[in-house]
């Protein structure tokens, strides 16, 4: 059985209301966002989720706390799930920031990171996932960089295609990853017993 990953974005934030690209700033949920987080919990509490992994940025952590409060499902914070670090541009108007987003596919934002660096960072989380959570269904709450990593690493979508596509919100995305330990290496000789 593969490891199943359900991805949900953090709920609507006050910065979303204002059209701000929060980046590595904490942000916080708006009243609408808190209501959406509660809906996320109702949608996913009985969905076979073994654990919730969330970005440690406030807007994502707050989403997880509201959604899974009072449940036995562990909520684990991981900084690697953060949004792309826009550096000196964290907190600027989103429309202005994303005008030339493809420029920053490989070139870091001033004082920050590139999108490819962000995807590499989130990818390290995926590499570690099978250590304790293989063959289970987990929920990840994150950002655009988190979803792009899942699409790129698991579905093979090129970053060049993702960076120019609109991010269309929906109620979750699902991914499956095989545990590399489940694959049998056909090049290894079979063991025989001497008798």
Active site residues: 10, 83
pLDDT tens sequence across 3-40: 999 999 999 999 999 999 999 999 999 999 999 999 99
In the predicted structure, residue 195 carries a pLDDT above the cut 70:
no
Binding residues for substrate: 22-23, 59, 83-86
- Give CATH for domain 3-182: 3.40.50.1240
Binding residues: 22-23, 59, 83-86
Residue 130 in tokens:
């099978």
Residue 151 in tokens:
């699409």
Pairing of strands 20-21, 92-93: antiparallel
Q: Which residue has the tokens 């202005």?
A: 96
pLDDT tens sequence across 42-94: 999 999 999 999 999 999 999 999 999 999 999 999 999 999 999 999 999 99
51 close to 76: Cβ distance less than 8 angstroms = yes
């Amino acid at each position: 059985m593969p490891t199943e990953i359900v991805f949900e974005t953090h709920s609507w934030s006050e910065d979303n209301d204002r059209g701000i690209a929060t980046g590595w700033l904490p942000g916080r949920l708006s009243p609408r966002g808190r209501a959406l987080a509660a809906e996320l919990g109702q949608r996913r509490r009985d969905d076979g989720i073994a654990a919730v992994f969330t970005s440690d940025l406030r807007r994502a952590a707050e989403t997880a706390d509201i959604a899974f409060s009072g449940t036995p499902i562990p909520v684990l914070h991981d900084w690697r799930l953060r949004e792309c670090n826009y550096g000196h541009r964290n907190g600027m108007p989103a429309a202005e920031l994303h005008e030339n987003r493809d420029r920053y596919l490989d070139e870091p934002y001033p004082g920050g990171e590139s999108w490819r660096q962000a995807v590499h960072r989130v990818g390290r989380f995926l590499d570690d996932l099978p250590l304790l959570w293989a063959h289970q269904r987990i929920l990840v709450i994150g950002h655009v960089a988190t979803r792009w990593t899942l699409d790129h690493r698991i579905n093979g979508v090129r970053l060049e295609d993702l960076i120019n596509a609109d991010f269309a919100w929906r109620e979750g995305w699902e991914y499956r990853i095989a545990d590399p330990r489940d694959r049998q290496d056909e090049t290894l000789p079979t063991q025989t017993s001497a008798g």
